[in-house]
Amino acid sequence: MTSPTGKFGSLLLLFALILLISVISGNDEIAFFQKISTTTTRPTTTTTATTTTTKQPVTQEKKCGLFNDKICVKRTECAETVRNVRKVIIDLGEPPKSICHYLETCCLPKDKLKVSINREHTAGSNQCGVTNVDGLYMTVKGGSLVTSFGEYPWVVAIFDVGAQFVCTGTLIAYNVVLTTASCVAAEQQLIARAGEWDLMTENEPVAHVNISVKKSIVHEKFNWESMEYNIALLILESAFDHLQYITPICLLGIDTEVFYEKCFITGWRSTRPLNQPSRNIVVKVEIAIDSGSCSLNSISTEICATANTNLPIYAKGAPLICPTDSSIYHIIGAWSTRTNGAIQFSDVRQFGPWIREKLEPDGIFI
């Protein structure tokens, strides 16, 4: 009497046991998958976290795609995205398609291009004030005020020893950066970085170049209170290579005529825009030059102007640039400060003799 029910019972127990094992192993499988996915995604979260403070070189390939079978590579280095197009298109207004950075694409490993872009050298060493219309290697759309990579090849980012961004500077010779005294007067050791575009990433088509500052020359009459004579020169340890995306701007000659109705600034915002905290791209803002002066105690070494935008722009050290009728760009000012809504630029035109005098001892003639 007990044996049939016992048999049945043990059979039931066996079923229950099998069910339990399958459930446990199933859970194990899920847990196992979770482990894989957390270990593979963890490096990506740490890299994005560190890029907000300092730029870390990418040491590990980031996996992506539905089956984790692809890797994130620069858009200019994936055969699929560069096929048949001269320049890749970066649409800043577009939501991300994958977990990759906006300058990267999710690419099959076999499609990753072995050779990266050849850095193009410029022809003449005396060339200045030439832009790369619409930029190099990539076309950038969808952003407000942003420029394309390499479009304004004279923009230089100035960093302190702690790798913190200090100000925008302007290349006036391959080994000389012009900026304002208020940017650099208090700094000990500086680094000039050319060929830079988005300060928050190193995924640009070609790498930027860092060179240390050998000598920092602050105008001897610079005054912190009045902001008069707010100009400085940085002489670099060595000169930048003559590349298409790294070339100086021109200083205004005695008889050079520029269009004062077509002036603008190029540079980085001193404070990151709140709506887009993960990017800090070189901006271009049109500037209207006022005939009057910014303050009542009229300063003779300043240019007063207003920005043609409603966006809050502050770009310390950034050059005020105007073109000639043959589209050669000249620096006429450097962003000094803001007074009552107007932007106060140091009048670089007036400092021509001072600049030449200060560079001569180092054998630099421009």
Should residue 237 be labelled a site residue for ligand NAG when binding is judged by CB under 6 A?
A: no
By CB under 6 A, is residue 102 in contact with ligand NAG? no
**Binding-site member from 210, 212, 293, 295 for ligand NAG (CB under 6 A):** 210
Name which of 322, 157, 321 is nearest 240 in CA terms.
157
Tell me the pairing of strands 329-339 and 250-251.
Answer: parallel
Contacts of 292 (CB under 8 A, 6+ apart): 304
What does the block give as tokens for 60?
Answer: 């590990």
Question: Please, what is the minimum distance in Å from the beta carbon of residue 366 to ligand NAG?
Answer: 26
Site residues (CB under 6 A) for ligand NAG, limited to 114-173: 159, 163
DSSP element (H, E) containing 339? strand 329-339
By the rule CB under 6 A, 245 interacts with ligand NAG: no
Say whether 167 sits in a helix, a strand or coil: strand
Shorter beta-carbon distance to ligand NAG: residue 198 or 228: 198
Least separation in angstroms between residue 288's CB and ligand NAG is: 36
Measured distance CA(192)–CA(264) in Å, rounded: 22
Considering the complex, state which of residue 57 and residue 96 has its C-beta at the smaller distance from ligand NAG.
57
Residue 87 lies near ligand NAG (rule: CB under 6 A) = no
| One of 55, 112, 279, 349 touching ligand NAG (CB under 6 A) | 55
DSSP code string of 162-174: TS-EEEEEEEEET
Please report, as a single letter, which amino acid is at residue 78: C
By CB under 6 A, tell whether 50 contacts ligand NAG.
no
In terms of CB distance, is 31 or 207 closer to ligand NAG?
207
Whose CA is closest to 131, among 288, 287, 330, 337?
330
CB of 100 to ligand NAG, least distance (A): 20
Question: 14 or 207: whose CB is closer to ligand NAG?
Answer: 207
Question: How far apart, in Å, are the Cα atoms of 244 and each of 3, 179, 202, 241?
Answer: 92, 22, 18, 9
Which CB sits closer to ligand NAG, 58 or 178? 58
Q: What is the dihedral of CA 250, 256, 257, 260, to 10 degrees?
A: 40
Could you tell me the smallest distance in angstroms from the CB atom of residue 160 to ligand NAG? 9
CB of 81 to ligand NAG, least distance (A): 23
Interface mask (CB under 6 A) for ligand NAG, residues 174-203, using x and -?
A: -----------------x------------
- Rounded CA gap, 320 and 84, in Å? 38
Name residue 213's beta-bridge partners: 236
Total residues binding ligand NAG (CB under 6 A): 9
Residue of 213, 231, 214, 211 lying closest to 222 (CA atoms): 231
Query: Taking the complex as a whole, how short is the minimal distance between the CB of residue 344 and ligand NAG, in angstroms?
Result: 30
Which positions touch ligand NAG (CB under 6 A)? Answer: 54-55, 57, 159, 163, 191, 207-208, 210
